[in-house]
Structure 1
């Protein structure tokens, strides 16, 4: 199965979609620095409530700056289709840096060097349902609900 997935990924990298995503990314990023940034909008009422609720020992400016930073990308392995161990073995040759999410056994933060060539959502593993792109914070409620 691993060879077929790698072959499909190679084909996807050569498609027009792969070239489109690489061009789009190049338009917005120069190296690792965003060229076009979008700031998160906060309604004035929310900002006023947060200023009032935030302890004086914390910096409101640091809170706003933290809200502007992008979230770490994360995935959840679909254990109905593949075990975590098999998924890690399958993706090991890709050089993906997968860091376990402490509250979700099948969740990982992911860092990839090949995002320009093939977006994560276009990989054969994602298209075949082996993993979902899901924010780590969204994995927490389920973990809490089914905690032993």
Structure 2
């Protein structure tokens, strides 16, 4: 029986719930990631912060088509709104209902979890809930190719 631990990726950057919006945006840019795991001081997984969560709080219009003559105004307004929240703690914007799997879970069960989930990867935790890495749909495909 193959375990998630065998196929997961162990290198992963995370942020703290006490980090500011500005710090997290810089981390996302540097790591080229639009979602990052949020952990506590003992590396216990708390949730995820999505760039989309931050955008929802700064873009004046709800997602949809902006009229071209309003585009510059909307971008400037979003930048101003970002300045207002950039020192806020990321815990105000993170998602806590993120699906996770345990490193000792069976890979056969992972397909259902991953296909039911809109994410392209899932975070992996140990029995204590500490972040250990992530597993992607590509890792799932690799596992299936070996079966």
TM-score (norm 2): 0.28
Higher helix share: 1
Larger radius of gyration: 1
